[in-house]
Amino acid sequence: MLKDSHQQRDLTYLSSFICKIMKRRLGKGPEQCNIVVKNNLVIVKVHHFITPAEEVLCNKNELSLALKFRSILVKAIIEEVKADITRVTNIEIKKSLFDWDYEKNVGLIMFVGTEPLLAEPIANHALEDSFIEKIKYVSDKVHKRPSGVRWILSETAVQVMECSGVLIKTENLLFENGYDDLLLEQGQEIRKNYNEFRYEFEPVLGREINQLFVTWDYEENKSYIVFYVK
């Protein structure tokens, strides 16, 4: 992991580097990238990412094409930045997941390391139990009740929940048959549904939620709900 004395410098370097690569590949760089490194995760929040081409597609109600366009290019960007992320953080990257909120023009790239993700020690056990139960309850309302939920990252501004056993039969079939485009579009709708339940999450956390992302690991039948709070 990053050494405390060099952490801010290293994060600033990574932020600048990722923004630079995105600009080169996409023709337009994001306004800002914020990075959190903890517990074998590297989480990059990307502000104002929409390119002129994507803006045209979204205005013509072609979100699926915008998602496909971004997915292809971002996968290439990820391959280009992985080595630098590993060099700076000492985290060997196993996989990368992402979510793009076109309505708010903010996105998330989450790099997952090869080492196991451990549950975050939460001092307030009552809070932990209540929040995990709330995640299960809301997930059941908007998509599917997960078989397991773990709180895997807790920072001042970011909370990450790992949900296991999240895929319905149709999603498994779509993934197995390579229908990534349909899964990307469905992921957008599920995230919107989670956002409608902010009023359920906030009283339990005791924090206001600024942004909510949902990334999907179809290979391992998991999702990650990322809360940016204040």
Q: What is the CATH number of the domain that holds 171?
A: 3.30.980
Structure tokens at 66: 């915008």
Instruction: State which amino acid sits at residue 208.
Output: E
Average pLDDT score, the chain: 93
**What's the pLDDT tens digit per position in 173-199?**
999 999 999 999 999 999 999 999 999
pLDDT of residue 2: 53
pTM, entire model = 0.94
Domain-embedded: residue 119:
no
Helices marked H in the chain: 7-26, 52-59, 63-89, 125-142, 169-176, 180-195, 198-205
Taking the alpha carbons of 131, 215, 217, 2 in that order, is the dihedral positive or negative?
negative
Report the number of distinct structural domains present in the chain: 2
pLDDT of residue 146: 98
Same domain for 96 and 151, yes or no, is no
Cα 97 from Cα 221, distance rounded (Å) = 13
Same domain for 135 and 222, yes or no, is yes
Same domain for 167 and 191, yes or no, is yes
